[in-house]
Chains A and B, each alone.
Chain A
Amino acid sequence: GNSVTQMEGPVTLSEEAFLTINCTYTATGYPSLFWYVQYPGEGLQLLLKATKADDKGSNKGFEATYRKETTSFHLEKGSVQVSDSAVYFCALSAGAGSYQLTFGKGTKLSVIP
């Protein structure tokens, strides 16, 4: 079956540091890949997505590249801010039009001034 593995948290960084959150997946076929973000007390929000190999999703300074050869979709940001403190979830779906989202366990990021 499909599964998503992301790095254990929590992650604590100083403001303006570089962020990487690792995500690898197992899936049959050609899944779509996502990063969702959950701010304290809120629901999940779609941060970025990629639907085919070598696609790069980007939003709000965050980026992730769909690497089929390494089955990875690592999240990166060059300079984090305190406002980026949240829980980040990597997720996949079996493909365009699929209803099923399989989520990783989430990685909590804390950014300190």
Chain B
Amino acid sequence: DAGVIQSPRHEVTEMGQEVTLRCKPISGHDYLFWYRQTMMRGLELLIYFNNNVPIDDSGMPEDRFSAKMPNASFSTLKIQPSEPRDSAVYFCASSHHGRGLNEQYFGPGTRLTVT
């Protein structure tokens, strides 16, 4: 089975530009999580969805960040406008309720660099 798929793997953009990160969860999984990883703060949960509905977005750093999940097989994380401090690796993860929400399967991540 294919794992969690993220695109792009690397993104370099200039400050002020819009950035969209994409995620395809594992088929059949009903939870989807977005994380950010930085050296300073480690791994942070940004937002998570259940059955395509956002459940908790308290980790989203500010209004410049938004996430959507239009269907069970696709989610986006958008940053508009981007800033250099948004540079990080962004991970998407998915899980199935039957296995416990804490058994999460991670994608390979998108390394974002904002100059």
Contact = CB atoms under 8 A, between A and B. Distances in A.
A103 B43 contact: yes
Interface residues of B, number: 22
A96 B103 CA distance: 10
A43 B102 contact: no
Contacts of B55: 99
B49 to A, nearest CB: 10
B100 interface: yes
Interface stretch (B66-74, B80-88, B105-113): B105-113
Nearest to B99: A46
Taking residues whose C-beta sits less than 8 angstroms from the other chain, chain A's interface range is 20 to 34
B21 interface: no
A40 to B, nearest CB: 11
B34 interface: no
Contacts of A42: 108-109
Interface string B41-75: 01101001000000110000000000000000000
Nearest to B48: A99
Contacts of B56: 99
5 closest Cβ pairs, A-B complex: A43-B106, A93-B102, A103-B43, A99-B101, A44-B106
